[in-house]
Structure 1
Amino acid sequence: MPQTTPPLDKATVGLATLFLTSGTTHLVRPQVFEGIVPHVLPRKRALVYVSGAAEIACALGLLHSRTRKVAGLASAALLVAVFPANVQMTANHAKRAQRKQDTGSKAFLAGTVARLPMQWPMIRTALRAAGRL
């Protein structure tokens, strides 16, 4: 029996919108993201461009029924791949908050910490778009 393409739901549109916004920002302002590329990885600017292009490709793929399954799997993989950058961003802001000792730095740190578990619902949305959940 052939698998049907999962419908385009609000969560998938939301994930695609997030990817389009973030991917565009990666390409237009790569310097914003270079600091969160884990220190062990080389060629940070190139990695930022590649991840931005991948986000845009995943977003567009999620929106079209013919490519939604593959794009859903690619999106889940991309979210797993960029998780170390989110951890690096939290570590960077933890150091900054320690140095500055101001409420703004601590609030931003709290936001980056809260963002980490948000990867899981995004991965689930991507997998649902792929028809895997």
Structure 2
Amino acid sequence: MPARSARLLAGLLATAGTAHFLAPRPFDATVPRSLPGHPRTWTRASGVAELALAAAVALPATRRKGALLTAGFFVAVFPANVKMAYDWRHRPTPLRAAAYGRLPVQVPLVLWALKVSRSAVTNSPG
């Protein structure tokens, strides 16, 4: 079961990372204006980070560290979700609900990554 959970987390990260390159515009819009540089640079950087985290979580040898970094990543991108919720406050109800709904989802994502990290420690050989 722990390996399945890790594969699912890696799949989520890989899907999100790929989406940053295939459809970057929605991600660009969530980049906080306070960050220096162009939003597309941040979109690409976060996509690369998600793909790297996916690989780290997928590999048993790097799973523990990769999952811990993933938890930190989920915390780090929370301001982008807050920005999206604020920016979408006047959008139609379904879109507004989706943006607001992303905010509390970060908590279970962080907890999931931490659980995968702990499982990697307890299930590692040796």
User: When the two structures are superposed, what TM-score results if normalisation uses the length of structure 1?
Assistant: 0.81
Matched, 1:129 2:116: yes
Unaligned regions of 5+ residues in structure 2, if any?
122-126
Deviation at 1:111, TM superposition (A): 1.6
* Equivalent runs, 1:23-38 vs 2, <5 Å: 23-38=17-32
Aligned to 1:18: 12
Give a deviation string over 1:78-127, Cα, whole Å, max 9, x none.
101101001111111103x2xxxxxxx11111121122111111111111
Across the aligned residues of Structure 1 and Structure 2, the Cα RMSD in angstroms comes to: 1.9
Aligned to 2:53: 58
43, 50, 55: which one pairs with 1:48? 43
Deviation at 1:45, TM superposition (A): 1.1
User: When the two structures are superposed, what TM-score results if normalisation uses the length of structure 2?
Assistant: 0.86
Deviation at 1:67, TM superposition (A): 0.5
Unaligned regions of 5+ residues in structure 1, if any?
1-5, 98-104
Q: How many residue pairs get matched?
A: 119
Matched, 1:119 2:98: no
Instruction: Give 4+ residue runs of structure 1 displaced > 4 Å after superposition.
Output: none
